[in-house]
A and B are shown apart, each in its own frame.
Chain A
C-alpha cells in the first residue's frame, strides 16, 4: 500500500510541472505548391485549423513544438475525400496513437480524432500520414516536430549545449508527375524524384527566403536540426571553416559528440548539431541527394551561411552531378565513375596536398594514412575516408 501511495505522489508531483500543448489540424488534399521553376503543382498535407475561414496548405506542413515531458494533444479533422492518419515518427507513442491504419485507426472522410501522448525526450521528430504512405507522404503529408528541453528553446537537450538560435531543415523529394496528376493503383515502387527539397524549397528558393539562411557569428553557436523524410540519402557537407559537432540523433543523446565534415541522413533519420566558427564565414553547406540503388547523386541544394546569394556559378556547372566515387571509406583504390580530364589531387583534412595523379579511373590510395581526405576531380571537391 505504501508503494502505491508513493507512486501516486510521484505521479502527482510530476504532473505539477508537465504542461499540455494543444493543436488542431485539418487533413487536406487541395493544396498547391510553387516549385523553383515557378511551376505550380498539387500537394496534400496538414494545416492549422482556423477559427474562421481556412489556412492554406504549405510544404512541408507546419512545424509543431513541445517541451520535454509535455502532454501533447492533437485534434485532427478530415474534410478530404480519403482516409488519413498521423504517425508520430520517433516519439514511441502507444499503439492507439501510432497512426498505422491496421494497428491503430483511420481518420476517415468527415471524421475527427484526438491524438494524445507524452513527449518524453527533447529532440527532432517528424509527423506524417501513414495511409498508403508511399503516396500520401510523397504528396506532402509531413512536418517537423521539435521537442525542446525544459531548460529552454536555446538548448539541444537538458544540460546539453546551448546556442543563440536554431535552424531546422527537413529534407524530402517529390515526383512532379505524381503531384501533377497521379492515378492511383500500382507502380509505387517506381517513384522517381524530380524535385529535391529542404523545408519544401529548392535551389534559389532557399535564398529567396531569408529565414533559411544561417546567421553564424564568429565565436557564437548555432543549433542545426536535420531531418530526412525523403526516399533518398541526404549528404550534408560542411564548409572547412565551420565546426559541426553532432550531439544527438533520433531524439537521443549520443554516447559521445563527434565532429563531422560530411553527414549522411538515411530516410527517417534526424540529427542535432552545433555549428560554430572562429572566423567570419560566408559560405555554404552542400546538400546532396543520393539514390538508394547505388548512392548515385541526383541533385544538390545549398544552405547559405551568412551568404545571402545563391552560389555565383553558372547554373549548368552547379547542377552537374559530381563524379561518383566508391568505395568510401576506401583501403586500396577509389574508383571514379568517369575518366577525369585533369590530374586528380588528394588533399588531407588540413588542406595539404598529399598526392597528384594523372587522369585515371582507379585512384591508388593504399599509401595514405587513415583519415579524412579530399579528392579534387575537375574542380570538384569530393571527401573520402581512407580506412
Chain B
C-alpha cells in the first residue's frame, strides 16, 4: 500500500489530497484491504510523500512511523467480534487530507461493501499545500465524497454501488473519515446495526436512518426483502450536493435484483 499525494478532480473542483493507494503513483482508487476472516494481513506501507507519516491502527492501539520515501511493515489480525480494523494518520491534518481507511475481514462467501465518507472544504486543502497553517474555524465543505468519488446528476458513484439479490446477507462497513457528523438514510430497507468502533447504544437496532460520528466505523447488515434501485444518502442535506448543486456528493446506490 502506498501513501500518495495528488489531485482529485471532482466535477469542477480540484482537491489536493493525500491517500492510501494500491498503486505506487497517485490514483483515485483508495485502498481498503479486504482479508479473509481467519487470515492475518502482512501490510507494507510505502510513504511517497515528503512528510513523516504516523499511521494509527486500532487493533494494536498504536501507530507505525513511516519516514518519507521509506516503508514500514505491519501485521494486522482480526479483533474478536469485529469485522474491521480502521487505520488513519495520527495527525489530524493528514487525516483530514485523506489518510483514513480500514481493513475489512470478511468470509469470502459473504457480500461486503465499504463506504469511506469524507468531506472537503477545497480552500482548506489548497491552504495546506501552499504551506499555510490550517484554519478550520470557517469550515464550509463543498465536496462530499464516498470512496473518493461523488454522485452527480449525470452519473451515480460507481465506487459506492451495492449489488445484491433479495434475501442476501449484505454487509456494509461505513467509515466517517471526515470532520463532520453525518446521518445515513437508507431508502427501501431497514438495516441492522451490527457493530461500531465507538461505544454505540444502537448495536442490534433496525434502522433506516442513523448517526455516524467523526472517526466512527459502523457495520450494518442489509437483508433485502424486495428488489429495486434505491439511494442511500446523508440526510444532512447539505452533503447531497456537489459544488452547491443537488443531487450530488454523499449518495450511494443499492441495486437489488430479484
Report which of B139, B183, B210, B230 forms a contact with A293, defined as CB distance below 8 A: B139
* A264 contacts partner chain B, Cβ-Cβ < 8 Å: yes
Q: Are B237 and A267 in contact (CB under 8 A)?
A: yes
Q: Are A132 and B236 in contact (CB under 8 A)?
A: no
Q: Are B183 and A268 in contact (CB under 8 A)?
A: yes
Chain B: number of interface residues, binned into ranges: 35 or more
Q: Are A137 and B237 in contact (CB under 8 A)?
A: yes
* B58 contacts partner chain A, Cβ-Cβ < 8 Å: no
Q: Considering only CB atoms and an 8 Å cut-off, how many residues of chain A contact the other chain? A: 45
Question: Using a CB-CB cutoff of 8 Å, which residues 170-194 of chain B contact chain A?
Answer: 179-183, 185, 187-190
* B45 contacts partner chain A, Cβ-Cβ < 8 Å: no
Interface of A is mostly: loop
- A357 contact set on B, CB distance < 8 A: none
Question: Using a CB-CB cutoff of 8 Å, which residues 221-258 of chain B contact chain A?
Answer: 225-231, 235-241, 243-247
- B139 contact set on A, CB distance < 8 A: 293
A-contacting 9-mer, from B29-37, B49-57, B90-98, B200-208:
B200-208
Q: Are B181 and A295 in contact (CB under 8 A)?
A: yes
- Provide the bound-state CA to CA distance between A87 and B210, in Å: 18
- Provide the bound-state CA to CA distance between A124 and B225, in Å: 21
* B142 contacts partner chain A, Cβ-Cβ < 8 Å: yes
Given A94-B228, A100-B231, A292-B236, does the pair A258, B201 have CB atoms closer than 8 Å? yes
Q: Are A250 and B231 in contact (CB under 8 A)?
A: no
B-contact bits for A264-296, CB 8 A (1 contact / 0 none): 101111100000000000000000000011110
* A12 contacts partner chain B, Cβ-Cβ < 8 Å: no
Q: Are A189 and B142 in contact (CB under 8 A)?
A: yes
Known contacts A188-B238, A250-B209, A266-B236; 8 additional CB pairs below 8 A are A95-B188, A133-B237, A186-B245, A189-B142, A189-B238, A190-B140, A250-B205, A293-B179
Can you sample 24 A-B contacts with CB below 8 Å?
A89-B208, A90-B209, A92-B226, A98-B230, A134-B237, A134-B240, A135-B246, A186-B245, A188-B237, A188-B241, A189-B144, A189-B239, A189-B244, A231-B238, A249-B202, A249-B207, A250-B190, A252-B207, A266-B235, A268-B209, A270-B209, A292-B183, A293-B179, A387-B199
Q: For the complex of A and B, list the 8 residue pairs with the smallest distance between their C-beta atoms, beginning with the closest.
A: A268-B209, A268-B235, A95-B228, A266-B183, A186-B244, A267-B235, A266-B211, A134-B237
List residues of chain B with CB under 8 Å of any chain A CB: 139-142, 144, 179-183, 185, 187-190, 199, 201-202, 204-211, 225-231, 235-241, 243-247
List residues of chain A with CB under 8 Å of any chain B CB: 87, 89-90, 92-95, 98, 100, 102-103, 132-135, 137-138, 185-191, 231, 233, 249-252, 254-255, 258, 264, 266-270, 292-295, 329, 387
